[in-house]
Structure 1
Amino acid sequence: MSLLLRKVWGTVLSRAAAAGAAQPPVDSPPSSPRRRGGGGGGAHAHEYGSLGELDALPIDVLAQILRLLGPADAARSGAVCRAWRLLAADNGLWAFFLRLGPDPWDLVVFAETHLAAGPASVPLYYDFSPQLSFKQIYSRRAVVPGSIIVDGGSGYCKYGWSKYAAPSGRCATFLEFGNIESPMYARLRHFLSTIYTRMQVKPSTQPIIVVLPLCHMDDTESARASRKQYKETLYSVLFDMNVPAVCAVDQAVLALYAAKRTSGIVVNIGFNTTSIVPIFQGMVMYEIGVETVGLGALKLTGFLKELMQQRNISFESLYTVRTIKEKLCYVAVDYEAELRKDTQASCEVDGEGWFTLSEERFKTAEILFQPQIGGMQAMGLHKAVSLCMDHCYNSEVFGDDSWYKTIVLAGGSSCLPGLSERLEKELHKLLPPHISKGIRVIPPQFGTDSAWFGAKMIGNVSTFTEAWCVKKKQFRQKTRRNGSSFVNEST
């Protein structure tokens, strides 16, 4: 059927090209030709141009024909007459084509609605705009060059192509590369050169998105200077490697984008520490305060190791313990009630056989809320988040105080089942109603790779290269003119 339609369509287009040579094309707005009647008739033929025998077909049948023909022929159909031109510009048709693409439809709409303008002008609320021309978006996304994404992370680095469904490789982080006493420039150069070598890509061929780890979290003058120095060095290294364009974005911001939000609080459970990061319209609010808790994935794995040793459960390595944690552990919504239940479960670790846990399954993650049971002096996760929310409320920087009531979890250990429900429950108990009302805790939709997927959304947006990237010439000119003030902390 599709082959027959294409043959017929080729005849229609060839006739239209001959007829259209005598008259200039008429531009039309990107809206659906709903004024056209459902059946045939001369009224619409007179107004929009005759389709011959096709005038008898209902509008929905014509739309199905364009869908079967595909985007290339749908775009060419405007050469037939104004009726086809209007039909081919219909948002519904190009939304259909976008739904067939590699990216989920909801992420496409979010990216084009909130991120297309770049990091400096991100709207606060999800506000789908009917003014979007999905035909234009489809054509521009199709020619956006694939970007290299390097997400440093705190446990390990994820890298790959923005056109891929997931990261293609993992390696040690920047902090573990080379001699730790080497200058930052040398270490970054070694790290990024290794990534390009493993991906078998020349730096000069593709733009790059670098996910910046959250470091120097306070808002002191020295911390601001350190953040700027790190970004300046990163840009210098990449442009010295002849990378055509660079986009550098904070890890927490990208995790927020992956959850289809531009404002909220990101709780990033990293390898060594947990960061609670307030973000407003894509900018980390250092002036409000980034809270940190000295608990991370390594502490959780270490505590499970102790619990297993107490029960004389033998294992080969810490990697085995981490695997068991990922397969069996969870967060108890009610810790005391969970102690009274039978929670025994087993899992298999390749090469080592089966392991069985009971109370260890939920006791491991309980140190996030009760660090003292693991012998640690630290603030509970719920208390740190509530403190951050209290700071957001008292800052009164913005008229609307609902922006910080969305809490997005990120990091590998945030994937533990039950964490979002437990945190939300504890926050309602800790905070007064005027702050806790409307709180929503969102688990990581992309698991351990949330920041990578946030970068993927940016890398595939229709305006990526012009709205999000810094070019080599632009960087050199502005640094010569303004010095280190070129780097903006919000990007």
Structure 2
Amino acid sequence: MNLRKVWGSVWKRSNRCKDWRKAIQAPKSSSITIISVFDQLPMDIVVEILMRMEARDALKLSLTCKALKRLAGGNRVWIFYLQCLHEEESWDSILFAETSLRSGYPLRRMVSSEPEEFSFMSVYGQRAQVPDSIIIDGGSGFCKFGRSKNDSPSGRYVTFAEFGNIESPIYARLQHFFVTIFNRMQVKPSMQPVVVSLPLCHQDDTESAKASRRQLKTAILNVLFDMNVPAVCAVNQAVLALYAAQQTSGIVVNIGFQVITIVPILHGKVMRQVGVEVIGFGASKLTGFLKEKMQEKNITLSLLSVQTLKECYVALDYEAELSRDAQESAATLSKERFQIGEILFQPRLAGMRAMGLQQGVALCMDHCDAAGITTGDGSWFKTVVLAGGSASLPGLAERLAKELHDYLPSSICNGVRVIPPPCGVDTAWHGAKLISNLSTFPGPWCITRKQLPRKSRLMW
């Protein structure tokens, strides 16, 4: 009531009537709060308010302002607003991102002098100012792309069918790849930062593999900067999948189109020195096995094959599942529905001489354990995150966990857990989404053309 009276009296002052709204308008700053809005009130208005109040009301107002200041300075209210502002994201994912991923890629360990708790009031304001970005998750199999503010990718297509092997750093091929994506999204490359996943290739620790990785990353950056992209954040695809599972350390098992890649990661950094095992077959073998069985039974290779693939699963006990499958029909797929997933553990079923999935992961864990890397928690490699479209087969995570407990020695298998793809085929894309919506983005995550080393600015 008193405020209304004051506004009425101020409105009559012609020399001030044009500026009073500006006086109380919150400045466009990421650190603005409700209390700072009251701080912007002109002193003559504050004095007039106090003159119209009795001492008892002034005391109540003083206590109210103190309570509001404590409330606005605390984390609880801003956590509530963060949840309301980002309804498409769970609070767990926001909390993980803001407490674990703020420092940039590769992650820098928090120093002891840094406080454990930070102001969510600042986080709220900073996240509201983060620009929209373009996320491109490409690989040898499928590509997913979309805006960081969207719930899911806006487009997908088969990479190898349209562009061939984009993991080969050929400028013209990469340029065609990125130009096509921007055209399909109908956006200008110069308008937004780009978050791009680095394909899972050349994963070993040899000098030739290191050179190949550098060459591919340099080619990607040069193409994007030549398209006038303002800033680029390039992160390993396996690391993005790990972030989507709200982890910074663990082993990522990516079932790709041609190969299965097993990547140990510690604090966001790929640990190639402890050995990355690559199994020489991928999802193409699974779909090939399905098509072969459907042809044997004269089943039409149409939409039915897609539906059948969705009905496939991984048996927890393969032999027990076989014994229950006694009533097989000649015109339908029965045991084949779980034999497809069994190929991952027994490649010989598809006529391949290769390492089984459980053997590859167990060997990688054994290398990590033998390396004796000093960390606060020696079990950093006991979290296994699955990624890739075929990794979404029902029962795969449970079966792999069972096999690892049977295969590994007791000193390692205790505490092992397997996490299915958090976001299905779009897991890496959603990991990039966590990064691109961070309150510190693009800051420590992106590089610009000026920051690119001069020797990397190749002439093609």
- Whichever residue aligns with residue 155 of structure 1, its letter is G
Q: 2:70 aligns with which of 70, 74, 86?
A: 86
- 1:165 offset after TM fit, Å? 0.1
CA contact (8 A) 1:174 1:188 kept: no
Q: How far apart are 1:17 and its partner, in Å?
A: 6.5
- Corresponding residue of 1:470: 447
What residue in structure 1 maps to residue 83 of structure 2? 99
Matches within 5 A, 1:27-106: 50-51=60-61, 81-100=65-84, 101=86, 102-106=88-92
Whichever residue aligns with residue 51 of structure 1, its letter is L
1:408 alignment partner, SS class: strand
* Matching residue's letter, 2:210: R
Measured in 2, the distance between the counterparts of 1:467 and 1:207 equals: 13
- Match in the other structure for 2:373: 397
What displacement does 1:344 show? 8.1
Distance 2:41 2:144 in 1: 55
Task: Give the 3 Å change call, closer, same or farther, for CA 337–235 of structure 1 in structure 2.
Answer: same
In structure 2, list runs of 5 or more residues that go unmatched. 9-22, 25-36, 47-54
State the partner residue of 2:299.
314
Please state if 1:239 is matched with 2:236. no
Query: Deviations for 1:368-406, whole angstroms, at most 9, x for unmatched residues?
Result: 111111111111100011011111111112244300000
| 1:379 paired to 2:355 | yes
Over residues 127-147 of structure 1, what are the superposed CA-to-partner deviations in whole Å (9 max), with x where a residue is unaligned? xx8622111111111110011
Q: Distance in 2 between matches of 1:181 and 1:386?
A: 28
Aligned partner letter, 1:271: F
What is the CA–CA distance in structure 1 between the aligned matches of 2:327 and 2:262, rounded to whole Å? Answer: 33
Q: Deviations over 1:153-193 (max 9, x none)?
A: 33110000010000000123278427989971111111101
| Structure 1 residues 300-379: aligned runs within 5 Å | 300-310=286-296, 312-317=297-302, 320-326=304-310, 328-342=311-325, 356-379=332-355
SS in 2 for 1:467: coil
Aligned equivalents of 1:371, 1:364: Cα separation in 2: 10
Which residue does 2:210 correspond to in 1? 224
Amino acid in the other structure paired with 1:366: E
CA contact (8 A) 2:142 2:158 kept: yes
Select which of 21, 27, 33 maps to 2:43. Answer: 21
Letter in 1 for 2:177: F
Residues 414-470 of structure 1: CA distance to partner in whole angstroms, max 9, x if unpaired?
Answer: 101111111111111111000111100000110001000000000000001111010
Superposed, which structure 2 residues align to 1:480-491 within 5 Å?
Answer: 480=454, 483-484=455-456
* CA apart distance, 1:18: 8.3
SS at match of 1:279: strand
1:152 and 1:383 mapped to 2: Cα distance? 28
The whole-number CA distance in structure 1 between the counterparts of 2:244 and 2:108 is 14
Q: Distance in 2 between matches of 1:266 and 1:205?
A: 33
When structure 1 is superposed on structure 2, of 230-239 and 391-400 the one drifting more is 391-400
Kindly provide the amino acid, as one letter, of the partner of residue 449 in structure 2. Answer: K
Q: SS of the residue aligned with 2:272? A: coil
Q: Which residue is 1:436 aligned to? A: 413
Cα pair distance change 1:51/1:313, threshold 3 Å? farther
In structure 2, how many angstroms separate the alpha carbons of the residues matched to 1:118 and 1:140? 16
**2:290, 2:228 → 1: CA distance?**
46
The alignment covers a number of residue pairs equal to 416
Q: Percent identity?
A: 56
**Shift in CA distance, 182/293, structure 1 to aligned 2, threshold 3 Å:** closer
TM-score between both structures, scaled by the size of structure 1? 0.77
1:279: which partner in 2? 265
Q: Distance between the aligned counterparts of 2:105 and 2:90, measured in 1?
A: 22
Q: CA separation in 2, counterparts of 1:155 and 1:344?
A: 36
Q: Is 1:258–2:268 an aligned residue pair?
A: no
Measured in 1, the distance between the counterparts of 2:132 and 2:437 equals 7
Residues 207/16 of structure 1: CA separation in 2 closer, same or farther (3 Å cut) = closer
1:207, 1:246 within 8 Å by CA — same for their partners in 2?
A: yes
For the 8 Å contact 1:228–1:484, the answer to whether it is kept is no
Q: CA deviation at 1:309?
A: 2.9
Assess, with a 3 A threshold, how the Cα gap between structure 1 residues 179 and 264 changes in structure 2: closer, same or farther. Answer: closer
1:139 counterpart letter in structure 2: G
Residue 114 of structure 1 contacts residue 122 of structure 1 at CA under 8 Å; is this kept in 2? no
The DSSP-based 3-state class of the residue aligned with 2:235 is strand
Q: Deviations over 1:307-341 (max 9, x none)?
A: 2233x242135x75344212x10000000111122
DSSP-derived class of the 2:253 partner: strand
Gaps of 5+ in 1: 1-6, 25-41, 56-80, 347-354, 487-491
Is 1:214 aligned to residue 236 of structure 2?
Answer: no
User: 1:344–1:359: 8 Å Cα contact kept in structure 2?
Assistant: no
Return closer, same or farther for 1:246/1:181 CA change in 2, 3 Å cut-off.
closer
**Whole-angstrom distance in 2 between the partners of 1:462 and 1:294:** 40
Q: Which residue pairs with 1:152 in the alignment?
A: 138
Q: CA RMSD in A?
A: 3.4
Amino acid at match of 1:389: M
**SS of residue in 2 equivalent to 1:191:** helix
